[in-house]
Amino acid sequence: MSESQSCVKVVGSMNWDIINRVESHYDGRQHASFLDDPSIDPCPGGHGVNQAIAVYRASHQNPFDSCSLPKTSERPESVQVYMIGMIGEDGDNRGEKIKNALAENGVRVDGVRSARNIRNGYAHIYVDIQGTPRIQNAPSANLHLTWDVVKEELEKTPRADLILVQLEIPRETVEGTIDYANKNQIPIIFNSAPVPANASSLYRDPLLYQVDHLILNHHCVEAICITRAPKSESRLDDGMTSVPNIQKLYSQYCDHFHRLGARCVVITLGHRGVLASYMEPPDAHGNRGQRSFFYPAKKQKQEVVDETGASDAFIGAYAVEVLRQMKTPANSGLNPIDFDLDIGTAIEHGIKAGSLTTESFGSFPAIPWREQWIGPEIKWLSANPFVLH
């Protein structure tokens, strides 16, 4: 790896996704009727795998598209992505299939280990006709991704310029990764998903929020903060009818996470858009200003097919733009706390990548390449944040 290249290390889950279409998500004892669609094949997944792919595709052009130039050997991009995760030893070699798929898509898999005699992580995903997924997963091998394994991989060269981590692996591993990043002054993005059943316990774990970028959806926010967050009669899904109402409620959540240590808090609001709050670098007196943003969703098509991988695509594109800004002359040689970032631009990239992902089934296959949302010839529609699409 040359000095001009950047390194992103993704610490996270590696699942095998089994996807089914259903007419509706029924409650209680009702049976869901499957829609016959032979085109939907099982595929690699998990937040770790998806975000590694999303970072790579957000920083490279598609080498598999004959119309997309330059080709693989001529790419000018300089981001290398390393996956750190744990696969299982299933009889059908699904763990190896996941590893091979990552490698075929440009992700380095030197940091992928295998848990002996342990099944690979699985996720059963049920997507209704509105594109809304329900996901049930068995972490299996992912639970064997211990901190000592991750630490060994993080300490290998090249040194990471940016680290991504999520919650589909042991909590101790997540905490160790965050602590390592802070001690070594490596910027880190923490995606607190999927939210566990005892989500409010996450609030009492202050180390989790000592991060440069905390990205989570509004369901996770409310689940984590349910015992401490400001009480409100309104919730996003209850028909909030204006941007000021959204900002009033969710800005309070952002303030909570800032007090816990997060420098930038990004809350994704589904089809409505994204709300974010950013603590500026300290001034000469050590004071830090706070900037807040609301960005409505964007789309290219009317139809939402599958929302499953949208958050991971968002994070990948967001991460690449943050990394680009970190490498500018203005931020060169600074500590992460002193970086002055245009978070709004990173969010715009994330929104577009996430939107494109919802137009196809699956998460891994649907994650877009950079040229799919970059360029003046690409037209975007502004989505009405108060009309469900």
- pLDDT > 70: what percent of the chain? 86
Residue 388 lies in a domain: no
Contact between 345 and 196 under an 8 Å Cβ cutoff? The reply is no
pLDDT tops 90 at residue 45: yes
Q: For residues 328 and 321, what is the distance between their CA atoms, to the nearest angstrom?
A: 11
Q: Read off the pLDDT of residues 271-320 as tens digits, 9 standing for 90 and up.
A: 889 999 999 998 888 889 899 989 988 877 768 888 889 999 999 999 99
Q: Where do we find the tokens 């798929």?
A: 101
- Residue spans of alpha helices (H) in the chain: 47-58, 94-104, 147-154, 171-183, 218-224, 243-260, 310-326, 343-357
Residue 329 lies in a domain: yes
Report yes or no on whether pTM surpasses 0.85: yes
pLDDT tops 50 at residue 388: no
Q: Where do we find the tokens 């203005």?
A: 330
CA 48 to each of CA 52, 118, 257: distance values in angstroms, whole numbers, following the listed order: 6, 19, 23
Q: Read off the pLDDT of residues 75-94 as tens digits, 9 standing for 90 and up.
A: 335 899 999 999 999 888 99
Residue 287 lies in a domain: yes
CATH number of the domain within which 307 lies: 3.40.1190.20
Mean per-residue pLDDT, 14-25? 85
Contacts of residue 358, defined as CB under 8 A and 6 or more positions apart, other chains included, come to: 131, 304, 305, 306, 307, 310, 366
Residue 1 lies in a domain: no
Parent domain of 320: 9-382
pLDDT tier at 230 (50, 70, 90 boundaries)? low
Residue 2 lies in a domain: no
- Total domain count, the chain: 1
